[in-house]
Amino acid sequence: MLSNNNRKLAISMDRRLFLKEGAAGVIALSLASGKVFTACSPSGNSAELPAVHPAGSYDVVVCGGGPAGFIAAIAASRGGARTALVERYGFLGGMATMGYVAPISEFGFAGERVIGGIPWEFIGRLEELGGAFVEWPKGNVDFDIELYKLCAQRMVMEAGVDLFMHSSLIGCEMEGNKLVNVFIENKNGLESLAAKRFIDATGDADLCHLAGVPMQPVEDGGVQPSSFCFVLSGVDTDSEMMQQYMHHSGKHGASECKPIREKLLKLKDEGTPLPDFGGPWFNDVMHRGSVAVNITRAAADSTDNRDFTAAECRLREDIFTFTDALRKISPEFKDCYVASTAPQAGIRESRRILGVHTVTAEEYVSGFKYPDSISRGAHPIDVHAAKGSGQEVIRLEQAAYVPYRALITKDFPNLLVAGRCISADRKALASLRVQASCMGLGQAAGTAAAQSLSEGKYVQDIDTSTLVSKLREMGAVI
């Protein structure tokens, strides 16, 4: 568990702290003397843990290969930085491909595209492969999960990024507040990656947590629930109902499948023991007869292994309970079966950093424009209830802006953050977290990291007007 205090201290302990406390430490990381982990039990017995192998030295290391991370890595590399990307799964795409979360929301506001540059290039490339269908006026994008993985990987490799897949970030080395190395674990053992700049795009702000970055407080209501998504096949996707509800930018307003929702709520009212559910949303995966289903719902802390494991096991049961119910209540689903469950349950909300600026819902909804705006958001604020089937939706007055200052902290000079762990209050995050916005944030973080190196300045000191101009040249609509 990353939040185990002893382990975290040991793994992210800075060199001075180690030298001072190492002898008495519970678990100590020795980098100066031969790259060996030494674990000391409270009884004083010590054991050697595997050696740390240096795996490379980079300008920029991006941790997390989700929508924010893979775009950040491409942006940094195209910006001239020697870049590595660390991802714990064997494919890129984050929640899109590890959580079966669809569609990619939303590139447009009132029919105008508000997110551009590398994210939009990615959608174009995916379309060329036959793996994307853009729905206007909102600019939601239906996609093929496997082609998404392929397209993201191709673009990352074409940009010259070094990929470390099947590699979990498990620690970091600090000199004061400056990150020096990250530690990753994979089949080669324990490896270190040195870099001048680091981007945390892990969704859960794992790198920031390890480095000791202050986090936003957990507000009343806890975090939004997790949902375990799955692909149902054998569905009558040609039916009128499915055609109407599989596409999220349609004219009917809400994208959840209302006829099925009403039937499920009625079953519950009549006393059928059904678990909590959201939506349901049936998402086009671009294959006739199949849909990605978002229906299950459970409160869970994704940064606590025990809590998340328990929730995921419960949700796996729920997937099959709901599949049975769907077969019974709707002719469109009478022959359906679970073709595949996502590699993991989807996480809507977890850690968010306390950055130089925290985006508030008020700023966000009103479309407040900052002098250092680097990206946009177009999706409504969308807070799913941790209990029951409720959801609070607040429509934006205009497409929102995000300032560069929400991607950086006050005290960590070579660290940037991208994606759903940026500095935002809970409600602003409830819109910002969608994929198109996260990609826009990744583009800004990667570009800023490369710029900070070419300017020879720390991330807090870069010329933000230059950054904004660069992003505009790349196609960002800011």
Ligand X SMILES: Cc1cc2nc3c(=O)[nH]c(=O)nc-3n(C[C@H](O)[C@H](O)[C@H](O)COP(=O)(O)OP(=O)(O)OC[C@H]3O[C@@H](n4cnc5c(N)ncnc54)[C@H](O)[C@@H]3O)c2cc1C
Binding-site ranges for ligand X (CB under 6 A): 63-69, 86-89, 94-95, 98-99, 101-105, 168-169, 201-204, 206, 227, 229, 294, 346-348, 419-420, 433-435, 438
Smallest gap from residue 434 Cβ to ligand X (A): 3
Smallest gap from residue 432 Cβ to ligand X (A): 8
For residue 207, what are the CA distances in angstroms to 64, 202, 350?
10, 8, 13
Nearest to residue 206, comparing CAs of 81, 313, 96, 65? 65
Helix (H) or strand (E) holding 38: strand 36-40
N-terminal to C-terminal alpha carbon distance within the chain: 39
Amino acid at site 189:
G
Nearer to ligand X, 69 or 440 (CB): 69
Which residues have CB under 8 Å from 394's CB, separation 6+?
361, 365, 380, 381, 427
Nearer to ligand X, 22 or 384 (CB): 384
Cα gap 427→263, rounded to integer Å: 30
- Residue pair 445/418 in contact by the 8 Å Cβ criterion: yes
Smallest gap from residue 125 Cβ to ligand X (A): 18
Which token pair is 92?
């890129």
Smallest gap from residue 34 Cβ to ligand X (A): 25
Nearer to ligand X, 202 or 373 (CB): 202
Cα gap 334→235, rounded to integer Å: 8
Nearer to ligand X, 204 or 284 (CB): 204
Nearer to ligand X, 95 or 467 (CB): 95
Which token pair is 316?
């796996």
Smallest gap from residue 303 Cβ to ligand X (A): 10
What is the maximal distance between C-alpha atoms in the chain? 70
Q: What 3-state DSSP class applies to 192?
A: strand
Smallest gap from residue 16 Cβ to ligand X (A): 25
Amino acid at site 116:
G
Smallest gap from residue 399 Cβ to ligand X (A): 15
Nearer to ligand X, 22 or 99 (CB): 99
Nearer to ligand X, 209 or 405 (CB): 209
Residue that has been written with the tokens 């009103």 in this structure: 366
Smallest gap from residue 358 Cβ to ligand X (A): 17
Nearest to residue 291, comparing CAs of 257, 261, 329? 257
Which token pair is 62?
């991006």
DSSP string of 345-385? -B------B--SS-B-HHHHHHTPPPTTEEEEE-SPEEEEP
Nearer to ligand X, 22 or 52 (CB): 52
Nearer to ligand X, 293 or 329 (CB): 293
Nearer to ligand X, 103 or 280 (CB): 103
Smallest gap from residue 136 Cβ to ligand X (A): 16
Nearer to ligand X, 202 or 216 (CB): 202
- Residue pair 351/204 in contact by the 8 Å Cβ criterion: yes
Smallest gap from residue 282 Cβ to ligand X (A): 12
- Residue pair 452/458 in contact by the 8 Å Cβ criterion: yes
Amino acid at site 424:
A
Smallest gap from residue 233 Cβ to ligand X (A): 20
- For the chain, give the number of residues: 478
For residue 354, what are the CA distances in angstroms to 122, 169, 213, 225, 439?
30, 21, 8, 22, 20
How large is the C-alpha radius of gyration of the chain? Answer: 22
- Residue pair 104/425 in contact by the 8 Å Cβ criterion: no
